[in-house]
Amino acid sequence: MNSNPKILFRFIPIVSLFSLFSFCNQANPINLDGSSSAAGVLLNVVLPSIIGTEIVPEGLPQLSSNVMYDAGNTYIDLTFSEQNSVDENFTMQIESYTTVSSPSFVGYNTFTLPANTGTHSVGFALNADDDNCLDRSGDKFSFRITKDSTGDTFVYDVTVKDGDYCIFGSSAKTLAQLGGLGAMDNHCKNLASAKGLPRNSAYYKAMVGALSTTYGDRNPGETLSSTSFFRANKRYVRKQGNGTWVKVFSIGGTWPLSSDFDNPLIDSGEYWTGMHSGWGRMDNNTCLNGTESWTNASSSSSGNLGTSSVVTGDAAYMTLSSCDSPLALPFICVYSPN
């Protein structure tokens, strides 16, 4: 006889579980949905602990994100659950990918984790697959990290999304219909959502120079930073009226660009900007009413206009219009995350 009753009691749940599968040849199927079936709960909770699931070895990191973006570099943090008293070396390699562009590491495919350190940042580079800002289903890649001292290794799967930023023209509005910076931003958000553009539609904004104590001043020509209106190392794209997508421009280390755009911001015509040709805010030409731009529909105020040109300066400022003009023009909406 078994002298240890604890072994028997530990064995009973496993026996019961496998007895559950003996009913498979009966007419009524077992419901495996844990939300509505006791059997489903048992399988969902107990089965993984019995058959095991693939887990990251203790000496290897967890990823801060399993989403990457093409058309630029994506950096993620590797977080280690244990910190070693000595430096540890790691090797990385791309295992497979289903993107058009092959992924690569930013820098070397090896790194050293210093002693008593729990995080390390790794960059991945993916070229743009196209000139639109739409995610493509099924784009992903896998990469392996190996700890050199132990040989522990693990393959990580990540999803690839489109890294381009989208631009589009709003519907035409007179100055009296603009309603200030907040209303213009909301119009962009609603249009982005209606167009089914990816990412958070709340981050689409009106590309205009503006003074606003309510919503914060806006100067699209400001020096590039992590919080500036435009961002470094980004491609900006738009959909033309004929349905094709084009790249408008790419930003490297400076803004505004010294070279011409690849394509104009809209197909044709003019649009509200409130900026001078250097892309800086033109305070006196933003239809300013007190402290709020784009709210003054009187003849005493003017608003600067840009035009559909690949010339960088003309795109920001070509001419101006009196704010009481019945002229109906669009403004440009652009993805600009906070």
The rounded distance, in Å, linking the Cα atoms of 62 and 65 is 9
**What pLDDT, on a 0 to 100 scale, did the predictor assign at position 146?**
98
Does 234 share its domain with 154? no
Q: Identify the domain boundary among 138, 161, 184.
A: 161
Q: Whole domain around residue 233: which residue ranges?
A: 164-335
Q: Identify the domain boundary among 107, 142, 161.
A: 161
Residue pair 276/316 in contact by the 8 Å Cβ criterion: yes
Q: What DSSP assignment string belongs to 278-304? A: TS-B-GGGB--BTTBTT---STT-EEE
| Domain assignment present for 255 | yes
Does 231 share its domain with 169? yes
Q: In what order do the strands lie in the sheet with 62-63?
A: 62-63, 72-79, 119-126, 104-105
Going by C-beta distance under 8 Å and a sequence separation of 6 or more, which residues neighbour residue 54? none
Place of tokens 């943090």: 77
**What pLDDT, on a 0 to 100 scale, did the predictor assign at position 46?**
45
Q: Is the pLDDT of residue 6 over 70?
A: no
Q: What pTM value is reported for the model?
A: 0.79
Does 254 share its domain with 321? yes
Looking at the structure of the chain, the number of domains it has is: 2
For residue 266, what pLDDT band results from cuts at 50, 70 and 90?
A: very high
pLDDT digits (tens, 9 = 90+) for 85-116: 999 999 999 999 998 889 999 999 999 999 99
Does 196 share its domain with 101? no
Q: What DSSP assignment string belongs to 178-209? A: H-HHHHHHHHHHHHHHHTT-SS-GGGEEE---
Per DSSP bridges, beta strands 332-335 and 204-206 are: antiparallel
**What pLDDT, on a 0 to 100 scale, did the predictor assign at position 129?**
87
Domain at 317, CATH number: 3.10.100.10
